[in-house]
Amino acid sequence: MKYKYLPYLLLVPVFTMIIVVVFIPLVTTIIYSFQSYRLTNTEEKANFIGLDNYVALFQDDRFISSLLTSLIYIAGSVIGMLILALITAQLANQAFKGRSLFRATILLPWAVAPVVAAQAWKFMFETDFGIINHILKSLGLIEKNIPWLVSSDHAMMSVILTNVWKTTPLLTLIIISGLQTISKELYESADIDGASPWKKYYHITLPLIRPFIAMGLIFTTLQTINVIDIIYVMTGGGPGEATEIFTLYNYKVFFQYLDFGLGGAMAVIGVTVIGILIYLYSRNMNKQMDT
């Protein structure tokens, strides 16, 4: 009886932190979303306006554009990360001299702070003095410098490549852990049946690592949506609004325009969309686990 309530007491700091860091800000943001609350007008008090903020958002061309830009950014990043992670994970799972060094090298981009990574890639993508244009010119692939970050035709590709480089190691690590759970006897049986490497990968490897891929995509997608450091440092959402994703626009509404009502509505929509994505990923992962 002496230690009956000890486990509950030990959980108090955890639940307190969750309430302070997650629950209270979430409830406050939801309340703001139903109010007209701008810090730029000190005389205006927070007034309840119902769904007006939500209606205004879906009538805002910039908001719709940020949603579409986010879809392009997420789709491009996820496809690039998945392809690169599958290749690097397969290589890292092979037995060869220096494998430990190769695995450590793969994880280096993940260890770099997003702001530092973004600044480094910004220098490399610089139009006149960037190393990327210099290499492409040296190889004869281009005749004149490409304005990577100041052209709407190339800016999105630039930030996607940077995000893929930065985030792929996380997905790679998860896929490697999945590859290591596969029994070697399955491959030995396939070898006896005369299966080609591609057939072994398609019929054995991919089905068994699909739950790990789904789990990894949850983390990488959330990081892609929520981390605005790369785009903020490299382009600031420009040129124009070419790379202004939803979360970056939400940040500007909150902390530059100081419109807590509209920003709160955007945040609620963002949380809802993220919740739907997590649900879809989780449902797909559960299906993969059951089959």
Beta strands in 26-96 (DSSP E): 35-36, 47-48
N residues, the chain: 291
Which residues share a beta bridge with 36? 47
Residue 53: inside a domain: no
Asked if residues 156 and 72 have their Cβ atoms less than 8 Å apart, the reply is yes
- 3-7, 60-64, 187-191, 287-291, range with the lowest pLDDT: 287-291
Q: Distance (Å, rounded) from C-alpha 278 to C-alpha 103? A: 28
- Predicted pLDDT at 267: 92
pLDDT score at 192:
84
Q: Which two tokens stand for residue 158?
A: 């630039």
In a domain, 83, yes or no: yes
Considering the domain boundaries, does residue 151 fall inside one?
yes
Closest CA to 31 of 249, 274, 265: 265
| Closest by Cα among 255, 182, 231 to 76 | 231
pLDDT at 42: 64
Cα 13 to Cα 36: distance, rounded to the nearest angstrom: 35
pLDDT > 60? residue 1 = no
% of the chain exceeding 70 in pLDDT: 95
Q: What is the pLDDT of residue 291?
A: 59
Does residue 49 sit within a domain?
Answer: no
Cα dihedral 199, 202, 207, 210, rounded to 10, equals: 150
CA-CA distance, 244 to 198, in Å (whole number)?
A: 40
Confidence of residue 123 (pLDDT cuts 50, 70, 90): very high
Residue 4 lies in a domain: no
- Among 92-96, 105-109, 228-232, 275-279, the range of highest mean pLDDT: 228-232
What residues form DSSP beta bridges with 35? 48
> Residue 172 pLDDT more than 90?
yes
Whether residue 69 lies inside any domain: the answer is yes
Question: How far apart are alpha carbons 265 and 249 in whole angstroms?
Answer: 12
Structural domain count, the chain: 1
- 1 within a domain of the structure (yes/no): no
Q: Which residues fall within 8 angstroms of residue 42, CB to CB, at 6 or more apart?
A: none
Element (H, E) at 270: helix 260-290
Q: How much is the pLDDT for 288?
A: 60
**Closest CA relative to residue 60, chosen from 237, 268, 277, 249:** 249
SS (H, E, C) 137-168: HHCCCCCCCCCCCCCCCCHHHHHHHHHHHHHH
Task: Return mean pLDDT, the chain.
Answer: 88
Confidence of residue 52 (pLDDT cuts 50, 70, 90): very high
Parent domain of 141: 63-257+266-290
Query: Cis peptide leading into 197, omega within 30 of 0?
Result: no
Tell me if 31 is assigned to some domain: no
Residue identified by tokens 């702070």 is: 113
Model confidence pLDDT, tens digit, residues 191-209: 888 888 888 888 888 888 8
pTM for the full model?
0.88
CATH number of domain containing 285: 1.10.3720.10
Lowest mean pLDDT among 2-6, 121-125, 245-249: 2-6
